[in-house]
Amino acid sequence: MSASAIRHYRPETRLVQSGTLRSSFGETSEALFLTQGYVYENAAQAEARFKGEDPGYQYSRFANPTVDMFERRMAAFEGAEAARATATGMAAVTIALVGQVRAGDHVVASKAMFGSCRYVVEDYLPRFGVTSTLVDGCDLDAWREAVRPNTKTFFLESPTNPALDVIDIAEVAKIAHAAGATLVVDNVFATPIYQSPLALGADCVVYSATKHIDGQGRCLGGVVLGSQKFIQDKIHTLLRQTGPSMSPFNAWVLLKGLETLAVRVHRQTDSAATLAVVLAEHPKVSRLIYPGRPDHPQAAVAQKQMRGGSTLVAFDIKGGKKAAFRFQDALKLIRISNNLGDAKSLITHPATTTHQRLTPAQRAELGISDGLVRVSVGLEHPDDIVEDVLAALEAV
Ligand SMILES: *Cc1c(COP(=O)(O)O)cnc(C)c1O
């Protein structure tokens, strides 16, 4: 189906039908093209392809039909003009930032970030003369004050990991544009089902496809989306020449993941919301954070920019680290893992795992207390999930 024909369909339909490049065999499920290279009919065709005059493939680091189908499906779903797939989510984030800056430039980013993203902004970019300022993403004045004449791009994730703060994307985009900078949004926690950063004014969206897009714990992947011009000018050549390309096998797994994305995310969100209700009233829980509830600290922003809640629930168990460890160890169904968005429910204790690199003061600033745990709610029956949590809280 052509890109213009698919636009008339609703999101769930686009997730199943868009981007397919059917081969001469007429297969229903997208084909897996495990090939490094491509052969040419004759020498003139090879020449034309290298000149960009013949639209075929040359080499799978540049492009591959299965990876193309994944990119087309993602772009159609996100409402982006163009997409480029990457080997991992971190490759997507790194390319999206590195592609826009050079020595002497400056980046502003929200402090509450996935650990490796924070490393890229705080430690990696400065090695090449790109300075950065980290701000409290929910404080719009802090973004304004961080701008310098050499600021090239803003970077944020919302909801944030792991404390699930919600940052006003439209307002941050306005501040970025007024400063002549772009805004890149890491949309992993919201998923493309619940939030469309490009429509809110962002210039670029990145995903770790490893999370909900695969959703079944199988492979790593990432994707960068934006306007044709943004992808062409900032991303395309860097990706092609430096090589963090997505494997066709992973693209095929992820294409299949997209077909069930909406169903999975809606079901996981319903279960997460149910769990949040139970936790909010529990005497052993001192704080419950769930985007989509009226008691969330940025409930109004969430209401404005998100179409649904979250598959993740964060909460503080009274008694700090000791209680949080006892709770995790008492769970029978929910497994301890730092991953998220999986069909299996997973729990993590950020202070001792994903955010242990930060100082206690930095963790406190991000709301990562010693009792905080984050549950990624899976596809098990919601009653089994709730019963597992309640039984484990009993053991604390
Ligand atoms: C997992 C994750 C990443 C990194 O993705 P990988 O696929 O693991 O490289 C980046 N940002 C967020 C918010 C994530 O959850």
Residue-wise pLDDT for 4-22, tens only, equals 788 889 999 999 999 999 9
The rounded Å distance from CA 54 to ligand 1 centre is: 36
Q: What is the mean predicted confidence (pLDDT) over 339-352?
A: 97
- Are residues 116 and 90 in contact, defined by beta-carbon separation less than 8 angstroms? yes
Spatial distance between the Cα atoms of 308 and 257, rounded to a whole number of angstroms: 20
As a whole number of Å, the CA-based R_g of the chain is 22
Question: 3-257 and 263-394: same fold?
Answer: no
pLDDT for residue 6 = 83
C-beta 96 within 6 A of ligand 1: no
Nearest atom, ligand 1, residue 90 CA: 9
Token couple for 312: 């993740």
Handedness of CA 316, 320, 325, 330 (dihedral sign): negative
Using the predicted structure, report yes or no on whether residue 2 has a pLDDT greater than 90.
no
C-beta 114 within 6 A of ligand 1: yes
Q: What is the mean predicted confidence (pLDDT) over 234-262?
A: 97
The rounded Å distance from CA 160 to ligand 1 centre is: 12
C-beta 94 within 6 A of ligand 1: no
Using the predicted structure, report yes or no on whether residue 64 has a pLDDT greater than 80.
yes
Q: Structural domain boundaries of the chain?
A: 3-257, 263-394
Nearest atom, ligand 1, residue 161 CA: 13
Nearest atom, ligand 1, residue 222 CA: 7
C-beta 138 within 6 A of ligand 1: no
Report the candidate in 351, 360, 359 with the shortest Cα–Cα distance to residue 162.
351
Using the predicted structure, report yes or no on whether residue 3 has a pLDDT greater than 90.
no
- Hey, which of 90, 253, 353 would you mutate to test ligand 1's pocket, going by the most ligand atoms within 8 Å of its Cβ? 90
The rounded Å distance from CA 39 to ligand 1 centre is: 36
- Whose CA is closest to atom 6 on ligand 1? 89
Q: How many CB atoms lie within 10 A of CB 61?
A: 15
Going by pLDDT thresholds of 50, 70 and 90, the confidence category of residue 207 is very high
pLDDT for residue 18 = 94
Going by pLDDT thresholds of 50, 70 and 90, the confidence category of residue 95 is very high
CATH assignment, 3-257:
3.40.640.10
Going by pLDDT thresholds of 50, 70 and 90, the confidence category of residue 309 is very high
How much of the chain exceeds pLDDT 70, in percent? 100
Q: What is the mean predicted confidence (pLDDT) over 224-248?
A: 97
C-beta 157 within 6 A of ligand 1: yes
Spatial distance between the Cα atoms of 255 and 349, rounded to a whole number of angstroms: 31
pLDDT for residue 7 = 82
C-beta 187 within 6 A of ligand 1: no
pTM of the entire predicted model:
0.97
pLDDT for residue 5 = 82
Nearest atom, ligand 1, residue 340 CA: 15
pLDDT for residue 347 = 98
pLDDT for residue 332 = 98
The rounded Å distance from CA 185 to ligand 1 centre is: 12
- Whose CA is closest to atom 8 on ligand 1? 89
pLDDT for residue 335 = 98
pLDDT for residue 168 = 98
Q: How many CB atoms lie within 10 A of CB 278?
A: 18
Using the predicted structure, report yes or no on whether residue 163 has a pLDDT greater than 80.
yes
C-beta 117 within 6 A of ligand 1: yes
CATH number assigned to the domain with residue range 263-394, chosen from the 4 options 3.30.1780.10, 3.90.1150.10, 3.30.1490.190, 1.10.3720.10:
3.90.1150.10
- Whose CA is closest to atom 2 on ligand 1? 208
The average confidence (pLDDT) of the chain is: 96
pLDDT digits (tens, 9 = 90+) for 113-162: 898 999 999 999 999 999 999 999 999 999 999 999 999 999 999 999 99
The rounded Å distance from CA 113 to ligand 1 centre is: 10
Nearest atom, ligand 1, residue 339 CA: 1
The rounded Å distance from CA 359 to ligand 1 centre is: 21
The rounded Å distance from CA 43 to ligand 1 centre is: 43
pLDDT digits (tens, 9 = 90+) for 286-297: 999 999 899 999
pLDDT for residue 49 = 95
Using the predicted structure, report yes or no on whether residue 1 has a pLDDT greater than 90.
no
C-beta 161 within 6 A of ligand 1: yes
